[in-house]
Copies of this chain bind each other. A is one copy, B any other.
Amino acid sequence: MPNRNPTMFTGLSAFPLTPLRHDELDEPAFIGLVERLVAAGVDSITALGSTGSYAYLDRDERARVARSAVAHAGDVPVFVGIGATRTSQVLAHAEAAQEAGAAALLLAPVSYQPLTEDDVFELFRTVTSHSSVPVIAYDNPGTTRFTFTTELYARIAALEGIASIKIPGVPSDPEAARAHVQQIRAALPPGVTIGVSGDAHAAEGLLAGCDAWYSVIAGTLPEAALRIVRTVRQGSPDQARAESQRLAPLWELFARHGGSIRVMAAVAEELGLAQESSLPLPLLGLTEDQRAEVARVIRGLDVEQ
């Protein structure tokens, strides 16, 4: 059984894209992203998250991405997404990720047929009992369409080997956010961290007591995300909120384009970090007009080039 090492599952975890080029892995672009995250000083890197297109890549591609991430992450721990529709496929991805040197595994209950709570619990039980590194339980209803209850968080977090819960966005009201996080915290064993996602409300999530931010924007724009994390750590909530508010044009683009991935791919392409059309089809990139707007927003935000 893996030891829980709570400090590894705190702070900023950056989720890089996995850029494609002509439907093949663009490994140089991926390595460039990983090196950028290491240089910026993120606390961990999560390869093959939703932003990293894990659900579109086959077994060999996923193994290559995992190896590449570990090889270029230096001392930064690398977590690797292992989700798949079938439990035996999840186990195969988990084994490949561990062979590649993953420090932890990220698992969402990917579904085609809607899953029951018992299906999901058994999935996590099976995977944790077969893995020698910790597992992060990944609650992403926007892509999996599975909704965790707090009771299910509690059942899963009680499994030996579960290190962290990645929760969706918290309420934007600070008090509601705090109550939400406290209610989840009360259901988890000590040592299992709570990581917020939903970048637009991540500052509020950290201020509400989340231990980590599993961050889409940090995968491409790590400095912008680190400014939020640092001001929270310095005990400056107003400044943290101001740093998040500064990125409002980006949050608006996410909302308008049905999520973050198309926008972040356009940002990476605009900054020369990926080639055009870097997303797996059928996901079309943004149109030319939409890209021009992304470029304007990025210039206006004065984020790193």
**A→B interface (CB under 8 Å):** 23, 50, 55-58, 85-89, 109-110, 112-116, 118-120, 122-123, 126, 142-143, 145, 258-259, 261, 280-284
A282 and B55 contacting across the interface, CB-CB below 8 Å: no
A283 and B119 contacting across the interface, CB-CB below 8 Å: yes
B281 and A87 contacting across the interface, CB-CB below 8 Å: yes
Q: How many copies does the complex hold?
A: 2
Q: A56-B85, A86-B56 are in contact. Are A282 and B115 (CB under 8 A)?
A: yes
B86 and A280 contacting across the interface, CB-CB below 8 Å: yes
Nearest opposing residue in chain B for A110, CB measure: B112
Give min CB distance, A217 to chain B, whole Å.
Answer: 16
A112 and B258 contacting across the interface, CB-CB below 8 Å: no
Q: Which residues of B contact A86 (CB under 8 A)?
A: 56-57, 280-282
Which listed residue, B56, B57, B122, touches A281 by the CB 8 Å rule? B122
A88 and B23 contacting across the interface, CB-CB below 8 Å: yes
In the bound assembly, the distance between CA atoms of A95 and B88 in angstroms comes to: 25
Give min CB distance, A73 to chain B, whole Å.
Answer: 25
Q: A142-B114, A143-B113 are in contact. Are A85 and B55 (CB under 8 A)?
A: yes
B119 and A282 contacting across the interface, CB-CB below 8 Å: yes
B55 and A261 contacting across the interface, CB-CB below 8 Å: no
Give min CB distance, A251 to chain B, whole Å.
Answer: 17
Q: Which residues of B contact A112 (CB under 8 A)?
A: 50, 55-56, 110, 143
Give min CB distance, A279 to chain B, whole Å.
Answer: 9
Give min CB distance, A98 to chain B, whole Å.
Answer: 20
Which listed residue, B119, B259, B284, touches A119 by the CB 8 Å rule? B284
B284 and A116 contacting across the interface, CB-CB below 8 Å: yes
Q: Which residues of B contact A56 (CB under 8 A)?
A: 85-86, 112
In the bound assembly, the distance between CA atoms of A259 and B113 in angstroms comes to: 8
Nearest opposing residue in chain B for A24, CB measure: B88
Q: Which residues of B contact A126 (CB under 8 A)?
A: 281
Q: Which residues of B contact A110 (CB under 8 A)?
A: 112
| Cβ contacts A to B, 24 pairs, < 8 Å | A50-B113, A55-B85, A55-B112, A55-B113, A56-B85, A56-B112, A57-B86, A58-B89, A85-B280, A86-B281, A87-B280, A87-B281, A88-B280, A110-B112, A113-B143, A113-B259, A113-B283, A114-B259, A115-B283, A116-B258, A120-B282, A122-B282, A122-B284, A126-B281
